[in-house]
């Protein structure tokens, strides 16, 4: 976990691509004010969400094993209302379907830092 200066909001980045996690972590560092955790798959993320109780989760749609939508469904079944924003490299055509899964939006990779900032500002 990397502690960044600022207000201490906790954001969990869940993506199987280490490079993507690194880019998002750098973007969050530039924005400031976040405590950033990372998970490479849904199983790891589930344990971290239960233990750390992040303020927001940036969740890749396609993950090995359990995918992002399945993880979100499991969280909601458990009564966990953590705000989730899906990350996807696929066309935005499915974004309405993803938002119907009780996500707080969809960011299509690659996304500009200001779009990430706006989305997090609306969540936190």
pLDDT, tens digit only, all 124 positions of the chain: 544 434 788 999 999 999 999 999 999 988 888 899 999 999 999 999 999 999 999 999 999 999 999 999 999 999 999 999 999 987 654 556 666 678 888 888 888 988 998 888 888 8
Contact yes or no for 89/71 (Cβ under 8 A): no
Extract the tokens encoding 34.
Answer: 């976040």
What Å distances lie between residue 23 and 19, 28, 68, 95, 100, CA to CA? 6, 9, 19, 22, 27
Q: CA 1, CA 77: separation in Å to the nearest integer?
A: 27
Q: Coil, helix or strand for 4?
A: coil
* pLDDT on residue 25: 95
Q: What domains, with CATH codes, occur in the chain?
A: 2-123 (3.40.50.2300)
């Amino acid at each position: 976990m990397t502690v960044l200066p600022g207000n201490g909001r906790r954001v969990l980045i869940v993506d199987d691509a280490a490079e993507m996690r690194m880019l998002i972590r750098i973007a969050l560092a530039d924005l400031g004010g976040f405590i950033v955790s990372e998970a490479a798959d849904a199983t790891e993320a589930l344990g971290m969400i239960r233990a750390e109780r992040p303020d927001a989760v940036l969740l890749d749609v396609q993950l090995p094993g359990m995918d992002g939508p399945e993880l979100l469904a499991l969280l909601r079944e458990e009564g966990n209302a953590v705000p989730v924003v899906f990350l996807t490299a696929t066309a935005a055509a499915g974004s309405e379907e993803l938002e119907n899964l009780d996500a707080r939006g969809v960011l299509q990779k690659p996304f500009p830092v200001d779009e990430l900032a706006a989305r997090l500002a609306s969540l936190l």
